[in-house]
Structure formats: C-alpha cells, structure tokens
Structure 1
Amino acid sequence: MSRSEALTTLKGVGPEMAKKLEAMGLERIEDVLEHVPFRYENYNSGTVTTAIHGDLVKWSGTVQAEPLVRYYSKGKNRLQFRLLLEERYVVHVTMFNRAFYKDKLTLGATVTVKGKWDMNRMTISATDLEFGELSDGLQPIYSLRSGLTQKNFSRIVKLAFEQTTSFEDRLPESIRQRYRLWDRETMLTGMHFPDSVETYKQARRSYVYEECLLYQLKLQAFRKMERSGKGRALMLDKQQLNEFVKQLAFPLTGAQTRVIREIVLDLEKPERMNRLLQGDVGSGKTVVAAIALYATVSAGYQGALMVPTEILAEQHLASLQALFEPYGIRVGLLTSSVKGKARNELLQAIKVGDVDIIVGTHALIQGPVEFSRLHLAITDEQHRFGVEQRKMLRDKAELADVLYMTATPIPRTLAISAFGEMDVSTIDEMPAGRKPIETYWAKTDQIDRVHAMVDRELTLGRQAYVIAPLIEESDTLEVESATALYEVLRERFPNYAVGLMHGKLSSTEKDDVMKAFASNTLQILVSTTVVEVGVNVPNASLIIIHDAERFGLAQLHQLRGRVGRGADQSYCILVGDPKSDVGKLRLKTMTETNDGFVLAEKDLELRGAGDFFGTAQSGLPSFRVADPVLDLKVMEVAMQDAVRLLGSEAFWSEATYAPLRQYLKRLDLLVGVRLE
C-alpha cells in the first residue's frame, strides 16, 4: 500500500476516527508515520523489592480474586482487585471510573497495570490497564486531540507500518553514509517503536539531521532566489555620505560604522538586500537607518520606514525631518489617521516622487499606495509584523532592498534557524556616556519603599511607568491587573495625573494616552506590555514592573528600555515574589546586567526556543523533533550542506537527489534558484 493512501484504507479507521485524525492534520498514511512521539515513558521499573515508594511502575501479573466495584456520587466508581506479581507478591490495585473492566478481569487473567506504587500498603493506584504481558522498552507518548487515546493511536501507527510497502528515502545514500544516518524506514521504526534508549537516540539523530537539512534547503533556496531576483545597484557618492555622517551631533560607535559599511555594500550590489539589523535598546539603530535612507535618497530614489504604531511613526517623522531638513530631503507620514484630501495629496506626492522618505504604519502596504522610485524599505521592530505584511512591503517595490530592524537581540542559537535566509548585522556596542539603568528587585511587602522612590522622581519633575502583566483579575495566575493598579496609584498620588493603557483600547486611544505621557500631561502611566514598543519619552526615569517573574528576560529588558533615554539617571524596579528557582534566577539576572545579548541567551536557556519571541509570527520554525538550541551544531552542518548542494551540478542532475528537488518544487522554490 502507498504511503499517500487515505487513512480510511487502514483496517479499523472509519469515518468517525478519520475525522478525529483529520482535526490533527493527519489525512494520509504518511502523515501518521511522520507524527512521531513527543516523549517516551520507560516502565522497566524493576521488581517489587527494588521499586521505591512513589515510583511510577508498570507491572504484569495474574488476577487473584473477583474485582469489586463501588459506586459513589454522580455515577463515579472505584474498581479494586488483587494482582499476583512475580508469582509470590499479592498487591492491591485501585482504579477510578474503570468499572467496565470488571467482567474482563476474570480469575487468572494476565494483565499489565500502570500507576503509582505505595510500598507501605503494597498497593498500586493505577491509571491504565492492558490485557496481556508487559511490553518492555520505551513506551511512546503522542500528542493527541481529545477523543483519541494513546492505545488507539498506537494501533493505527502499527497498522500504518504493516500496510506500507515502501519508504522513500529523502536523503541520498552518500549523505547517510557520511553521517552514519539510518534509512527512512529504520529511522521511523526507531522513533515509534524504540527497543532501547540507544535505538531512540540514533533514530532521533537521523530525524534531526533530515529536518534541519530540509529546513536549510528551504531557507538557502529562498535566499538564493531573493538574491537572483531583479535588483538595482545604487551609485553612491561616498564623499557626500561621509560628510553627512560627520555632521551628526554625536560620533558613531565602531559597531555602527561596521554595520553601515555592510548596508552600503548591499546598496551598491545588483542583488536585492535582505538584511536583519539587530541591536540592543539604545544602541543607535535609528541613526543607522537614517544614514541608509540618506544614501538612498542621495542616489535619486525613495525610502520607506514602516513601524508598528502611529506614535512611533510620528516620533520617527519628527527626528528624520529635523535631521534631513538642511538637505532639502522631504519626509512624509502615512498612517490610518491621515484621511481625506490630505491623504489623497500625500498618495499623489508619493506616486510622482515629491516625497523622498515615507514613514508609516501598516497603512504603507494597504490600498493604493504607489511609489515613484522606491529602493529601500525598512521595517522597524520586524518581529511585530506578520510574514505576510513584510512580504507586502517588499512587493510594493519589486526592486527594493529590504532592511529589517529589531531591538530584541536574537541569540546566535536562534538566528541561524529563525533568520537563516537573511544576512544579519549586529550593533553590539553602546554609545559612550550613556548611564546604565540601575535595576533593583523588591518584594511585594516592600511596595511602600517603591512608592517612596516614585515620589522622589516625580518631585524632581520626572515621570514613571508602572507595568502590570494582565488587564483583568486572574485568580489562577495571581497577577494584579493594570486597572487595579491604576486605582491604587490614583489614590496614592492624588497630586499627579495618572494614565491607563492596555490592549483593549483602540489604536487611537492608545496614541492619545502615549501623547499625553510624552508631553508630561500625565506623570504616571500604568500599562500592560503594550508600552513595550520603543516609544521615546526622555523625561521618564523610572519603570516599575509588577509580578516581574512572570515575564521572560527579553521582555523585561525591552520594558526596561522605556527609560534611560534622557540625561537623568534612570531606574527599573522589579516587584515580585517568585516561588520557583527559575523565577528567582530571572530577576537576579536582570539586576546583574544591562546587556541585551547576554539576557537573550539566558532567556532562551530558561524558557526554550518556543517561548522566546512569544508570538506565532516570530518567524521561528516549528520542528517535529529538532530543537534549534539543543541541535545547533546539526543545524550549522545542515546549513553548510544545503549551500553546498544548491551550488553543485550533481544536485540538479542526478537521480539520487530527486526527492530533495521535489521537496523544493512543492515549495515553489526552484524558480529563480535553478532553471530546469
């Protein structure tokens, strides 16, 4: 039977079961074979005499007496029976809501029970029961939807293996031999039915490399396609560019100079730029973007800067206008708030080239926005835009170079997998003279001292952020809401204006609140993490983060970056009583360093790759088995192999590589990579 056959061709998989499997994205036999266990349980628990009190055990024995069933409230029941183990030990087994087993548990029947061992009472609190002898080895545990049991799905997996006559190997024999990898059938068998830990490790090793290679082939093919796409080389006046840099109000750091050189080289190449610029909060990414925009406009083309919020767009507009006005460079602002006649006039000016640089929100990629000669498109805080939005910006200018910027430092361990198709530039140096933000950890019973610090800063004419994680009360998470904090602070600081901002406000309402805070109409801003995006309020010198242990380090660092933007010494107070060691370590680490790259690596270590960005649009790949952090070395090898394969004649001509070529063809990534 073919792997591409529908699951309903398997014995015992009827329409109802097929519907449940389809809800998990499993429609063909091949889908089931690829749905490997997410963990394993090892029930080789030894003997009754070697098991420790509280162990999770799985033992086989024979039923010694007729089972008893007791019913109690609302149809619930308790099943009890005696089991003879090792032909000498009688133990008592208890199961809840399993009365349907009563008639099958006949005297002398052989059964296997799984549960918790109580050594003192010689009892097992069982959670599962199987008829027959214990199967040794690792027991696979699958990720399943409701309505499916581990037992049912394991049966379907076995049927899928029994009825599959051929397993097509994606990897050629030469690669498998080089790295001592298993063929596809052996690998999948080892993942689903490992007879030992060593078998599982080798199967996983083979699976991880295959996943990493396929992913890197996709990334490198996309990268090659992007670069082979029609581009435009700019003729830049280096002397003019150097003069512009010299007149800046402050000297560039070595890291900024290095990054600008990388971007300028891209602008001068005929291939399209696809570059990620990452730098810590306050490292000077905006200045780098401004220099890139100046170079573009000086060469006779337009530039666009897309940001996530209107207030951020307005701040960029003001700073760029002040910087470019002496050079006659025209900067426009396009957001959803620009309406009617003003909008039509701006769209016309963009279309005919009367605007050189356009700053805007997602409005830049919506509707009838036509550019005259757009060459450089910059996206700020790129992880906050969906992949489709970024693609739409690129599509607005077919020949455009694209620069993505982020203030969330990407750990090296993730950059290779999350942004492997991009070139990455890193600003890893802070401007001289910046005062490091002083960070302290306060327990909740020290809140009076925290409020005294707010008093001190407000008395000096400064402002404060107060951050709460959620906007509604939650008994489960025990997190104070922003609304409750707002009321407390209004009462505590009656002589100051307190504002409230959270995710349920409209974009206009959020902008109004932020404008009031930026103009010092509000002295205290209570907010959820919607304030995380880089708004610039130089007069804000204090940020207090409640229940700080519930945030990741990367997010705490972003929030801390809302202060420290002016000449005054700034402070960050982390309020929390973490119960776990991880929570305590997180807050302690924040007080010890201001380095976003150090914190990003630590955050990844504490939270794992899946939680680092915290959004499905982060661009972080989803793997069945591979882990971008644990399997970094494999990912690096796979990247090198993918580049080598795509550049070799054999890959495009020899039959042994046909499955890999077919994989790229399904992704529409052969066009522009290699014309066949």
Structure 2
Amino acid sequence: MNTPAASLESIPVRQIKGVSAPKEQELHAFGIYTAQDLLNYFPFRYEDYRLRSLTEVKDGEKITIQGVIRGLPMVARFGKGKARITAKTEIDGQLVTAVWFNRMFIKDQLQLGREITLTGKWDAHRMQITVVDSEFPDKGTAKTGTLQPVYSVGGGITQSWMRKTIRQALEQLGPLLQENLPEQLVRKYRLMPRQDAVFHIHHPDDPKDGQGARRRLVYEELFLFQLKLQAYRMMNRRKADGIVHRVDPEIIRQFAASLPFELTDAQKKVVNEILADMRQPFAMNRLLQGDVGAGKTVVAAIALLAAVKAGHQGALMVPTEILAEQHMRSLTRLYEVTGLQTALLTGSVSERKRRDLLAGLQMGLIDVLIGTHALIQDDVIFRSLGLVVTDEQHRFGVNQRSILRRKGPSPDVLTMTATPIPRTLAITAFGDMEVSTIKERPKGRIPIQTHWIKHSMMDRVFGFIRREADAGRQAYVICPLIEESEKLDVQNAIDQFVQLQQQFPDLKVGLLHGRMTTSEKDEIMKAFGDNEVQVLVATTVVEVGVDVPNATLMIIMDAERFGLSQLHQLRGRVGRGSHASFCILVADPKTETGRERMAVMQDTDDGFEVARRDLELRGPGDFFGTKQSGMPDFKLADMAADFAVLEVAREDAAELAAEGDFWTSDTYAGLRAMLAKDQIFQGEQLD
C-alpha cells in the first residue's frame, strides 16, 4: 500500500478550475473546503439517460429515447407568460407527441427531419412524452447514453455546475488519489482500485461500474472507521495498566449455587466472558445487552462480587432513583450470604446520611455503591474503585460516564442496556467494546400476548382490566407525552386516572407522574408492589423500572406516539411472573410508520427483532439519539443495508491491528498517519 498523499487535503477547493471566490464560499456551506472534500462529496442517486426502446417502457416511467422530428412545432399559450410546445416525433417507427412546458427557446430548434434525444415521463395511452431534457446529436451529446450523478445542492450551486466541477477536479487532481487500503485486502475482495472507484462513483459508465465503486468505497469507509476503534483497543491493551482481578472460582460457584434460580446457559456464557476480561492486565470495556427480563442484574452482581473479593470496590450507576432503589433491593437480597456491604446514593439521601456514607466509601467500608448521577459528584471518593457498571448507559451523556470511570486508577467498565441493539449497530456505536449478549429467556417465562385496538374499543380494555383484577392481578396504564409540556403530560394522566376511578369504584387506582416528590413516588410504587393498588396510571416522565411479577396487563394509550424500542421496554414490565400476560396498544395511527410499529409489536416479542425493525424504520442516527451515541456520520455506508460489510470490515481491522507489522512496517505508514491525525494514540477513552 502506498502512503496516501496529503496534498488533496491541503489543496483549497478554490484551486480547482472554475471555482470562483463566491462559489468557494457557497461550497463551504456544504462542508467542502478542500479538493479532498469535493471528491468525497458523493452523489446520492443517478439520472438514467441510457437510450431505451418504447417496447420496454412502462406507462408513467421516466425514459430517454431517440427519434426524428416529423411535425412542425405547435405553440399553445395559457396563463400569464406560460406556453406549451408540441412536436410530432418518429420513434421506433411510431409517431409520438413530444411536449415541452415554458421553453419557448426550443421552438426554433425543432426543425423537420432533425434527430433529437428526449428524456421525460412516458404516457403510453396518449403516446406522449413530457420532456424534462432534450439534446440534438448534431450538436454533440453530453448526457445521452450515460448515468448522470445527482448531488445534494442548493443556493447558487446547481446540478450541472457541481457535475462539471467534480469532473474538472477528477481530471486535474485524479492522479493524487492513492490507494489507502492494504494491498492484501484489495486483492482478497477484488476491490476496484481507489482512483477508479472515486471516478466511477461520480461517473459510472454503467450500473455495474457504479455498484463496484460503491462496494469498494463502503468497505473502505467501514474498514477505516473500525481500524480506529481496533487500534485504540490494542493501544489500551498494550498499556496493561488495568486492575487484575484475581478471584477464586469457587467463590463464584458458591454464590451461583446460593441463588434461588439456576443461571441460564446464556448468563453463564457472559459471566465467563466478563470474568475472563477482569483477570486481564488491561481495563475491561464490555457492553452487556439483553432483552427486558433476560437477567442482566444477576450477571452484574457476579461481576461486582468478583471486584470486591479481589480487594476493590464496585459502582453501579443508573438513570433514575426508582431504578437505583430497585437495584439496591435486588443486590441486597442477592448478597445476603456474601457479607458484602451495599449503599444507595441518590439526590434524595439526607445530608447527614450522605456524609456518613461518603466517609465509609473513602475508608473502604462500603463494597458496592449504587446510585444515580449523584455518584459523579466531586466529593464522592472511592478507596479503590475496581469496576464501574452503568445501566441503560445511553441515558447518560458521554461526560457523565467518563467522570465515573475516572474515580478509579483504571477500573474495568461494564455497560448494560435492556434496549436490545442489532449487532450491526452495537459493533459500530460501541466498536471499541467487546459485546456480550443474553438472548435466552429465564425458564418459566410465558410469552406476552400483544394486541392492537382502536380507541373506539376501550370497552374491551375495561373488560380486560376487570378480568385480571378479579383474578387478583394488576395492570399498568401508560399515558404518553402529548406535547413538550410536563403540565399537559400530567393532565393527560390525571384525566385517565379520574376516568378509571369512575369506571372501577371498587378498585384502588394509583397515579404516578414526574411532578410528584420522591417520597410520593416511592409510596405509590410500594403500594403497587404490595398489590394495595390494582391499576397504576403513569406518565413516561417516570421510569417504570419496577419488577412486579403480579402485574399481567400493560395498556399503552396513544401507542403510535412511542418508538418501537420504548413500546417494547414498556411491554417488558409485565410477563415477569408465572401468569399469562398481555400488552394492549390503544392507537389510531394516521401514518404508515405508525401502523408498521403496531404491526411489528403484534408480530414479535423478541427485543432483538424489534430493534432490527426499529433500525430499518428510524435509521441508525435516531436509534439512541445521535448526540449520546457517538454514531459516525458515514458518507456512503448504511447501517441497515451494509451490515454484512460492517462485520467483515471489523474482523479485517481487528486482524490487522493485532499484527506486529502494522505498528512498524513502512507498508502501513499511511494508515498509522491517519490514526495519529485522529488522535488515536493520545490514550483518551473513545466514547
């Protein structure tokens, strides 16, 4: 592989022939500053100007055809300054009417017997083509027979100017486009050379050339991105400044045996992966993903136990107080036989209790600290933080996660999410992490039945609530955020609460929303957990992160207002006990996407399949929210469509980064220069 020339990056776009100072300023608005930026400004589709026969064209299709003018042009005027020109043209031995709108300049060029090429929409019934573009072969044809690139343009930048300027840049600077992929990979996948690929992506001679160029450039984009992540991981492992957690395996086996349930095979597998990482001299950085109710908490508990038994402390950070309290109860119960000391730190902890807690933490009297973002305050100091676990990590900002990580010398990091992420997205958004997945469900779990009904069928919903309540079970009713106003949101829940109280005077109906105090929320959640409340009306301002096995009915009002992953999360709040459970989506979606969401929810209760469909519907940028996820902005690659290429590129990048030659050989000097430019060698955590 040649060392990539830096010259394209250093050549201002103004130096390309035809780019004036005003045009240069307009190009800056598109993020185009250098010759390299211009050549990497790829078209998003192509206009097909290849000649076709009338016999192979369907009605309403856009076509390019060639013929001879057989009738004098006729002009019909309508409206102010508007005109319609028609001319009979012989094409494939048939007379066709060619129609131009508001192009009076064409009239004098439409001479009898003259050859003409027409591009436009074909009307088979009228034997008519509405012309959008026309050319005369006797003047020299520019577009006929080609695929023309279509760019995102605007302002003073037109399609024709952009096409002409990029072609000029290719002629002027094309030779500077040097290969940036290792020669063995170009050969292995029979990739088009880079110079050819950039030329053909802008000017494909035929669809095959365009496909070959895209294939090459998509692989290049994904490979270079993955190489950054893999190189960072190798650098991290080379530093070997992590904590080596040495734990007697018998301690882990005894703890697992003390649990009131048997670990699933999937849980055992990910526990082994995590413990293997914790024994290494480099800091672990692992993502644990699993569907709602898949048993991630007990896996985290084992990892935290290992850190403590190795002489260190653990921290578990979650996004809400309700979730923190739930984890506190769960871990306290699980650790009864171990003697581990757990503590809870949230914004609601009193000042006096907080002081005592922080003193105990600094002295090492607290083994595992559970809490919200209160954990990242400056005065929270650990004696020896060995493992950081973050739950629903995408709910925290990048800075919040890194602050907690810096509270130890180089702690192991385990991030958990109950939002199943398609593997394609996981290895991209979290490419510098190892990914562990729990797909198996705990034994005895009964699949949740999901039904979509319209608002007009609410009587059936009331009947469902009555049936479950009479059987001694409970229901959630979730109200959406109707507008970006907490007041309106609460009012929506209050209206539903009042209606249900009137509908079921003999049942206890509870209300939970974001404007309640923490103690009020705790009180209502405890009452629901103890079955003193049979129906809980809640807004989405509050994380309904409570495990109530007796709750068997989840009703989601105006369900079309939620994303697929959120709907699946809410559904996962039921189906946690031994009784059959149901999710009722009440929705009258007006859009195709809304209807598709409802259909997906009815089709599957597999969170990974839901996530895959969500990715297709929403695209990767919106899957987590781009700001939080650090998702790259690819020029050509598409996460949903190019998943197979992504996985191959990741394997190739990992293999290359693991080779000693990569770090020393002149062959890879260009790639190392790229990594240095992106500050991969600065030792900062990629987040």
> What TM-score, normalized by structure 1, do the two folds share?
0.84
Distance 2:133 2:625 in 1: 36
- Mapped contact 2:500–2:509 kept (Cα < 8 A): no
The structure-2 alpha-carbon separation of the partners of 1:473 and 1:48, relative to structure 1 and needing over 3 Å to count, comes to farther
Deviation, 1:470, is 4.7
- Mapped contact 1:471–1:483 kept (Cα < 8 A): no
- Mapped contact 1:490–1:498 kept (Cα < 8 A): no
- Is 1:196 the counterpart of 2:203? The answer is no
Distance 2:377 2:259 in 1: 34
Distance 2:480 2:124 in 1: 45
The structure-2 alpha-carbon separation of the partners of 1:156 and 1:566, relative to structure 1 and needing over 3 Å to count, comes to same
Find the partner of 1:36 among 9, 32, 42: 42
Question: Structure 1 stretch 444-453 or stretch 609-618: which is displaced more?
Answer: 609-618
Find the partner of 1:158 among 152, 162, 167: 167
The structure-2 alpha-carbon separation of the partners of 1:589 and 1:71, relative to structure 1 and needing over 3 Å to count, comes to closer
Q: How many residues align?
A: 654
Deviation, 1:651, is 2.5
Structure 1: gaps spanning 5 or more residues: 96-100, 475-479
Question: Structure 1 stretch 371-380 or stretch 537-546: which is displaced more?
Answer: 537-546
For residue 452 of structure 1, what is the aligned residue in structure 2? 463
Deviation, 1:295, is 1.9
The structure-2 alpha-carbon separation of the partners of 1:649 and 1:430, relative to structure 1 and needing over 3 Å to count, comes to closer
Deviations 1:154-183 (A, max 9, x none): 233223323325113212444323322222
The structure-2 alpha-carbon separation of the partners of 1:268 and 1:461, relative to structure 1 and needing over 3 Å to count, comes to same
Distance 2:244 2:228 in 1: 26
Distance 2:120 2:519 in 1: 56
For residue 409 of structure 1, what is the aligned residue in structure 2? 420
Distance 1:227 1:44 in 2: 54
- Is 1:206 the counterpart of 2:213? The answer is no
Q: Report the 3-state secondary structure (helix = DSSP H, G, I; strand = E; otherwise coil) of the residue aligned with 1:333.
A: strand
For residue 91 of structure 1, what is the aligned residue in structure 2? 98
For residue 570 of structure 1, what is the aligned residue in structure 2? 581
The structure-2 alpha-carbon separation of the partners of 1:622 and 1:529, relative to structure 1 and needing over 3 Å to count, comes to farther
Distance 1:214 1:299 in 2: 38
Deviations 1:474-515 (A, max 9, x none): 9xxxxx9885575356335423546364xxx57x76995576
Deviations 1:295-351 (A, max 9, x none): 212222110001111221122123223433564433222333446454444444333
Distance 2:319 2:375 in 1: 11
Question: Structure 1 stretch 569-578 or stretch 55-64: which is displaced more?
Answer: 55-64
- Mapped contact 1:209–1:634 kept (Cα < 8 A): yes
Distance 1:313 1:265 in 2: 27
Find the partner of 1:499 among 511, 515, 520: 511
For residue 376 of structure 1, what is the aligned residue in structure 2? 387
Question: Structure 1 stretch 445-454 or stretch 82-91: which is displaced more?
Answer: 82-91
- Mapped contact 1:66–1:105 kept (Cα < 8 A): no
Distance 2:361 2:259 in 1: 27
- Mapped contact 2:568–2:607 kept (Cα < 8 A): yes
Find the partner of 1:542 among 547, 553, 574: 553
The structure-2 alpha-carbon separation of the partners of 1:293 and 1:648, relative to structure 1 and needing over 3 Å to count, comes to closer
For residue 373 of structure 2, what is the aligned residue in structure 1? 362
The structure-2 alpha-carbon separation of the partners of 1:533 and 1:376, relative to structure 1 and needing over 3 Å to count, comes to farther
The structure-2 alpha-carbon separation of the partners of 1:89 and 1:659, relative to structure 1 and needing over 3 Å to count, comes to same
- Mapped contact 1:441–1:576 kept (Cα < 8 A): yes
Distance 1:30 1:148 in 2: 18
- Mapped contact 1:304–1:359 kept (Cα < 8 A): yes
- Is 1:423 the counterpart of 2:434? The answer is yes
For residue 108 of structure 1, what is the aligned residue in structure 2? 109
- Mapped contact 2:427–2:435 kept (Cα < 8 A): no
Deviation, 1:240, is 3.0
- Mapped contact 2:552–2:574 kept (Cα < 8 A): yes
Alignment of 1:479-558 (within 5 A): 484=492, 487=495, 490-494=498-502, 495=505, 497=509, 499=511, 501=513, 505=514, 513=521, 516-520=524-528, 524-526=535-537, 529-530=540-541, 534-548=545-559, 553-558=564-569
- Mapped contact 2:509–2:537 kept (Cα < 8 A): no
CA RMSD of aligned residues (A): 3.8
The structure-2 alpha-carbon separation of the partners of 1:265 and 1:634, relative to structure 1 and needing over 3 Å to count, comes to same
Matched to 2:152, the amino acid is: S
For residue 3 of structure 2, what is the aligned residue in structure 1? none
Find the partner of 1:237 among 240, 244, 248: 248
- Mapped contact 1:469–1:482 kept (Cα < 8 A): no
Distance 2:479 2:89 in 1: 56
> What TM-score, normalized by structure 2, do the two folds share?
0.83
Q: Report the 3-state secondary structure (helix = DSSP H, G, I; strand = E; otherwise coil) of the residue aligned with 1:228.
A: helix
Find the partner of 1:650 among 632, 651, 661: 661
Find the partner of 2:122 among 117, 126, 133: 117
Distance 2:385 2:23 in 1: 54
Question: Structure 1 stretch 616-625 or stretch 41-50: which is displaced more?
Answer: 41-50
Deviation, 1:535, is 3.6
Distance 1:179 1:205 in 2: 10
Matched to 2:45, the amino acid is: R
Matched to 1:209, the amino acid is: Y
Q: Percent identity over the alignment?
A: 46
For residue 269 of structure 1, what is the aligned residue in structure 2? 280
Q: Report the 3-state secondary structure (helix = DSSP H, G, I; strand = E; otherwise coil) of the residue aligned with 1:391.
A: helix
Deviation, 1:405, is 0.9
- Is 1:393 the counterpart of 2:384? The answer is no
The structure-2 alpha-carbon separation of the partners of 1:553 and 1:648, relative to structure 1 and needing over 3 Å to count, comes to same
- Mapped contact 1:24–1:145 kept (Cα < 8 A): no
- Mapped contact 1:471–1:528 kept (Cα < 8 A): no
Find the partner of 1:139 among 148, 162, 165: 148
Deviation, 1:226, is 2.5
Distance 1:524 1:597 in 2: 29
The structure-2 alpha-carbon separation of the partners of 1:421 and 1:515, relative to structure 1 and needing over 3 Å to count, comes to farther
Deviation, 1:257, is 2.2
Distance 2:644 2:98 in 1: 49
- Is 1:55 the counterpart of 2:65? The answer is no
- Is 1:298 the counterpart of 2:309? The answer is yes
For residue 228 of structure 1, what is the aligned residue in structure 2? 238
Alignment of 1:600-615 (within 5 A): 600-604=611-615, 609-610=620-621, 612-613=623-624, 615=626
Q: Report the 3-state secondary structure (helix = DSSP H, G, I; strand = E; otherwise coil) of the residue aligned with 2:680.
A: coil
Distance 2:363 2:620 in 1: 45
Matched to 2:162, the amino acid is: F
The structure-2 alpha-carbon separation of the partners of 1:343 and 1:411, relative to structure 1 and needing over 3 Å to count, comes to same
For residue 351 of structure 1, what is the aligned residue in structure 2? 362
Distance 1:147 1:516 in 2: 61
